[in-house]
Amino acid sequence: MKNTRIVFMGTPEFSVPALKTLAKEPGFDVLLAVTQPDRPKGRGKKLSPSAVKQAARDLGIDVYQPEKINTPEGIDRLSGLEPDYFVVVAFGQILSRQVLDIPKTYPINIHASLLPKYRGAAPIQAAVLNMDEQTGVSTMVMAEKMDAGDILLMETTPVKTEDTASTLHDRLSQMGADLIIKTIHGIEQKKIIPVPQDHSKASYVSMLKKSDGRINWHSSAKAICAHINAMTPWPGAFTELCGKRLKIFKAVVSSTPMQTSSPPGTVVRSSDKGLFVAAGDDGVVQVLELMGNSGKRLDVAAFLCGNKIDLPACFQ
């Protein structure tokens, strides 16, 4: 029996577990890893390879880095491999119809939401921000319209109160890796039939901007904590005190009984157990980890050693 021939397309760290899992699966042959060109990173703007390129090199898989995949050169390169499947995970380029038609079976995408909910660029952050009870990953047959293809398989996971975009990212990344194996085996065994999405229920989430990290202290205490979790690690939740920006990495809704009629954003108590900040619903947010001018992520006790906060103080 011949091996299943796969072309993998992906770029960031989220894509790597799927690539590694496919490469190790008996009977699968990952012919090529297609990823974005090296990009400048850091203060020195040194060209750096994508996470997928690094992983592919470690696995001994050929790498292709086109600036645009939908060119005659790209189409010839992919067609010549005669793949059975494309597996696409956060690649970062839109595939044309001509490219999507290349695989003998399907071009398959792994998406980090329960489609048709949260199509687009930031589904993980959206699930945390909106305090969803659960989210998951979907595999689908790729269509020309973004994240609109027929569903193959889905798997769910609860969104925990303490989940950040970072922890959920890692969990969904591995879930996607496991799900693509189940998906391809299910297709090969003729156990999976693609199911069209209900497009009337589709929702979209756009790419985050740095400005999305600003905390709105007029929100409820639960919503503020969810926002901080959703913005961690990027773009980072931030606020300002006396004209200086502070990044907040960890906060919880205070369980300490505290009556306050202070305006939202007011620091009503400061101790080594946290900065207690009034929220818009009369609740209180207990800030546990933050970063000031030092550029170091600190717990509140360490932060207060070098940063005195005179009460009453108010975050903006």
For CATH 3.10.25.10, list the domain ranges present in the chain. 210-314
Asked whether residue 152 is marked as a ligand-binding residue, the answer is no
Tokens of 19: 């690539």
Asked whether residue 200 is marked as a ligand-binding residue, the answer is no
Sequence length of the chain is 316
Asked whether residue 114 is marked as a ligand-binding residue, the answer is yes
Q: Cα–Cα distance between 131 and 266 in angstroms, integer?
A: 24
| Predicted structure pTM score | 0.95
Per residue of the chain (316 residues), give pLDDT as tens.
689 999 999 999 999 999 999 999 999 999 999 999 999 887 778 899 999 999 999 999 999 999 999 999 999 999 999 999 999 999 999 999 999 999 999 999 999 999 999 999 999 999 999 999 999 999 999 999 999 999 999 999 999 999 999 999 999 999 999 999 999 999 999 999 999 999 999 999 999 999 999 999 999 999 999 999 999 999 999 999 888 899 999 999 998 766 667 899 999 999 999 999 999 988 999 999 999 877 899 999 999 988 888 888 899 8
Domain 4-205 architecture: 3-Layer(aba) Sandwich (3.40)
Asked whether residue 37 is marked as a ligand-binding residue, the answer is no
- Which class would CATH give 210-314? alpha beta
For CATH 3.40.50.170, list the domain ranges present in the chain. 4-205
Using CA atoms, how far residue 4 sits from 67, 116, 157, 212, in Å, is: 27, 29, 29, 43
